[in-house]
Amino acid sequence: MSGLRGGASDEVQVLPTKALFVEMLTRDLMLDRAVLDLVDNSIDGARRLRPCPGSDLSGLRIDITLGRNGFSIDDNCGGIGLDLARTYAFRIGRSKSRPRTPNAIGEFGGGMKRALFKFGHEFTVTSRTLNDRFKLVVDVDAWEADDDNWSFRFEDFEDGLQTPEKDIGTLVEVSRLRDNVADTFDLLTFRNNLAREIDRGQQESLDRGLLITFNNVSCPSSPWTLLSSVELSPVSRMDTIKVGNEDVHTRIFAGISAPNPKLAGWYVFCNGRMVLEANQSDVTGWGRLAEEEAMAAPKYHNQFARFRG
């Protein structure tokens, strides 16, 4: 390499500062989505504890508390293992060597870390599994001030335990909220809308017995129902679609319910979480032409106010 003298290095430093890293990581993350990501992680824990499809989730709980003075989410859904915490749970993204959790919706990707950085200047994660436990306390401002050390350190940890199942779970607490977060969490409209998002998005888990409380109020279970009579009954269809090398298992139910234009349409769930609610657009087929069968679906109109799918 020409031009180098006296052992000068040819390296050019391109590492980001931690402050820039945190800003870029959280910039586009909406506060409601950040809370929902943490709820997803807890629900995935519940599904790992009881993995059978449709299994009863009674006895498992997720308690969410937020306001101007702080945020917490507390569950008894299995906890984060010590090795998982050391190597995966606080990393951004998923390592290629990390096996996927079947039917998971959170997956310990960037969701938890993004949310914690987004919310405040200090966070604590305390978790206990059947065999181990840990407590992690992070002063975000102090961590950001040291650009050389990117790791966290456990404040306390222990393995080789035999913890009763009723005592296993994870508690996430965020204090010293950022000013804009504290102002938003203090808004009644934000809290009401978030409670509704949790309620509608997690109905399948609620119907299976999972208890979710938001600021000490239980999210109601509202089972999905379709009307039936001798003349007209709901239809159902199950299918498997090949996408690349993977199978996507689908279930479709359609029928009628009480007339309500705001509730009519298609409800779409992915791995148990609602992703579309009362959809009346071409995303779910309204107004689209099925060329192969020479059929056209009508656009949504209030005459379909009884339809549910």
Residues β-bridged to residue 111: none
Q: What is the pLDDT of residue 131?
A: 95
Domains and CATH numbers, the chain: 18-218 (3.30.565.10), 235-308 (no CATH)
**Amino acid identity, residue 292?**
E
The two tokens of residue 142 are 């102090």
Q: What is the pLDDT of residue 275?
A: 87
The two tokens of residue 166 are 């009723």
Q: What is the pLDDT of residue 108?
A: 43
Residues lower than pLDDT 70 in the chain: 1-7, 92-110, 289-294
How many angstroms separate the first and last alpha carbons of the chain?
A: 67
The two tokens of residue 231 are 């003349």
* Rounded Cα–Cα distance for residues 6 and 8 (Å): 6
Judge whether 265 and 306 are in contact, CB under 8 Å: no
Among the listed residues 22, 8, 42, the one whose alpha carbon sits nearest the alpha carbon of residue 206: 42
Q: What is the pLDDT of residue 185?
A: 98
Q: What is the pLDDT of residue 303?
A: 94
Distances (CA, A) of 93 to 78, 97, 225, 252: 22, 12, 38, 32
Which parts of the chain fold into alpha helices (H)?
18-26, 31-49, 82-84, 111-119, 140-145, 179-185, 188-201, 203-207
